[in-house]
Amino acid sequence: MAGYEYVSPEQLAGFDKYKYSAVDTNPLSLYIMHPFWNTIVKAFPTWLAPNLITFSGFLLVVFNFLLMAYFDPDFYASAPGHKHVPDWVWIVVGILNFMAYTLDGVDGKQARRTNSSTPLGELFDHGLDSWSCVYFVVTVYSIFGRGPTGVSVFVLYLLLWVVLFSFILSHWEKYNTGILFLPWGYDVSQVTISFVYIVTAVVGVEAWYEPFLFNFLYRDLFTAMIIGCALFVTLPMSLLNFFRSYKSNTLKHNSVYEAMVPFFSPCLLFILSTAWILWSPSDILELHPRVFYFMVGTAFANITCQLIVCQMSSTRCPTLNWLLVPLFLVVITVNLGVASYLESLLLYILTTVFTLAHIHYGVRVVKQLSSHFQIYPFSLKKPNSD
């Protein structure tokens, strides 16, 4: 298993023919962020590998997640009557979130600047982005948290899925059209949330208890923005791009079945994880929300990474992801009735298995593509260049 090769010879051949194609029409990105990133990237030395920038940004997102998990493990820290997260933590999280967003914006520019753009770089970038979704959403949750002034853990679970499906929608587009249409919601959300973290440090979490407009609370605004962006921006634009490709006869998959295959595993993951929540004898989501979110987000990231490999190599997306098998068995076991401590143990075991499996997948894929393209993933030095 240690030397298992996830990328098939057919896919490696597809990567050889791959050409990057992306469209960014977001005004915030085009007129503000790109000029800013063009300035920032000049500060980086030309020997710095783009993938190292990408990975550094991802580690900042993970650090924010762990930092907030320490100060707000059960999402009650922002509720009235509970010990709140220290103000300095919000400042640190806000700054690091914007830094991570900036690094995610300059890695590609560094690649073009150093003439080191490769399919591996794009896969590495988008693969880590798929895992960052859960870290980002769960960290943001601590602003409002649970309790009478917050958002229930089940509502946050549904909001997490809105974000996850919005993310995979872009890669579904590319799987079918060959073009990555960069979503508008990403840039807006990153800039807004970075600002909100800093504001929280200044005004305190108590400020979010007050109505935003009439009886419309800030938590309701938070929920409405996520759902509204998905339903009225991301989804319509994705369908429009798909329809345009259909009208121009440039779709890569002609049948409806083949076009929709990338959604099979994510939908089954949603069904199984939701069934677990609803059938749970110990109310597992209320008991371990952070771990449950992480388990779902990690499985989703693995599914998405396999889709990205297929879209870049112009190969067929697998119908089902094998990680769904142990999840299915756990859900069936839970439905039969297990003790509370056993259900919690199953969640922790499954989360560990998913995490190790996803890391193994990522490491092996990076090694395979590095060997195939004869490059070092975190260095601009060429193998056997001495």
Residues marked active site are found at: 126
Closest by CA to 304, choosing from 263, 270, 344, is: 263
> What angle (nearest 5°) sits at the alpha carbon of residue 329, between those of residues 266 and 291?
65
In terms of Cα–Cα distance, which of 169, 33, 164, 30 is closest to 105? 33
Q: Which residue has the tokens 């490696």?
A: 12
Q: Coil, strand or helix: which one is 341? A: helix
Q: How far apart are CA 46 and CA 353, in angstroms?
A: 39
How far is 196 from 17, CA to CA, in rounded Å?
43
Alpha helices in the chain (DSSP H): 9-16, 27-28, 34-40, 50-71, 87-113, 119-141, 153-177, 184-203, 218-229, 235-247, 256-260, 264-279, 284-287, 289-313, 324-336, 340-373
Q: Which amino acid appears at position 195 of this protein?
A: F
Distance of alpha carbon 137 from alpha carbon 230, whole angstroms: 14
Separation between Cα atoms, residue 386 and residue 379, nearest integer Å: 14
Helix (H, G, I), strand (E, B) or coil at 138: helix
